[in-house]
Amino acid sequence: MRYQGVLFDLDGTLVNSAQDMYIALNLTLTEVAFPVVSYAQVCSWVGNGIDTLVKRGLSGSVEVNPELPAALIDLAIQTFRSHYGQLAGQYATLYPHVETGLAALAGFPKALITNKDRSFTESLLDTLKLTSHFKVLICGDDGCKKPAAEPLLNACTALGLQPKDVVMVGDSKSDIVAAQNANIDAIALTYGYHQGINLQDLNPQYLCGDFLDIIPILTQR
């Protein structure tokens, strides 16, 4: 087969976790006396890690306000972590056909690469019973975050595979650009959290509208 392993993003690719983050962010904003934000805004802001999400919430925009006080940012991030730690996985759901698709790909070594912190990731995976599917887990607090190439290259090393032998499956610009930076083929999913970007414009090798669409790509010879 053309590919011998698969690298997966988490939020927006396997799991719709925006509701947990939406609740945690608005609890945080309320505590620091900032205006609450909408669910649609949160969906358009996720994908670049917790710190960036919180700063976007404080700014009320995807563009972070450079004049936010550092002490406020630190307080808000710690407050969010506390709330999200209690919520992670509580309202999250798998996207359609993810469970079936992962089972169908049982023969492929798989790595999960997320910008989410490890403690939250492990809790989410355990709650949704996804942990057993992945041989390797690379998280945002392990080092560089996507769109850097390093998390993907580290996953390849841990899987014992070369970049040319794997494909990255994701739903956001950071996933596709990370794959390109690592010289790894990319499958872009048209659902999930795109931050208003048309992923087709990023020229991924494949564009899929359903999770099951990745199976024939991975099983081609």
- Among all residues, which ones are annotated catalytic? 9
Three-point CA angle 184, 128, 75, nearest 5°: 80
Strands 5-8 and 15-16: unpaired
HEC string of 180-196 equals: HHCCCEEEEECCCCCCC
Count of beta carbons in the 10 Å neighbourhood of residue 161: 18
Whole-angstrom distance, CA of residue 26 vs CA of residue 19: 11
Phi, psi of 23 (to 5 degrees): -65, -45
